[in-house]
Structure 1
Amino acid sequence: MQSATLLLEISRYYLIAGAVVAAAFLVIGIDRVEPSARGSYVFRPLLIPGICLIWPLVLYRWFRLEKHGEGAR
């Protein structure tokens, strides 16, 4: 029973971190990373579940593109 509780706690914190990253990315980062996403405010909430699941990759790509620019793809 303890391992199930531990797994649920880890999952909870992972998704909370994902929600924080999603909020920051959708407010600040998406316009910088993808210029064609400017003004697409109705589309952004659809990205929240995906960003919550793959937030480490989103952070990696976001920081890499911020640091190296468009050629870092």
Structure 2
Amino acid sequence: MLTVAAAHWVVEAVLLYAAIGLGIGIGFLVAGIERIDPAARDAYAFRPLLLPGLVALWPLVAWRWLRALR
């Protein structure tokens, strides 16, 4: 059975993961998406639709973004 302390730890870990993902996702949409996908240039209406996926997959996004900067 999950104790209250363990449940609190799980919630805190998920919130931390989402907060990091939100920061990386917004930064990627503002500054990095055009490096990864040149077709996304001037496609500002569709960028907010990508945010939930970017938050969920932020480790992959950060890795690809860092590779594109090199």
- Work out whether the TM-score is over 0.5: yes
Aligned residues, how many?
A: 67
CA RMSD of aligned residues (A): 0.6
Q: Measure, in 1, the Cα distance between the counterparts of 2:67 and 2:35.
A: 12
- The normalised TM-score by structure 2 is 0.92
Structure 2: 5+ residue stretches without partners: none
1:10-62: per-residue Cα shift (whole Å, max 9, x none)?
Answer: 00010000000011000000012111100000110000000001101000011
**Could you say which structure has the greater relative contact order, defined with CA pairs below 8 angstroms and 6 or more residues apart?**
2
- Sequence identity of aligned pairs in percent? 42
Q: Which runs of 5+ in 1 are unaligned?
A: 68-73
Equivalent runs, 1:8-47 vs 2, <5 Å: 8-47=11-50
Runs of 4+ aligned residues of structure 1 deviating over 3 Å after TM superposition are: none
- Does 2:7 correspond to 1:4? yes
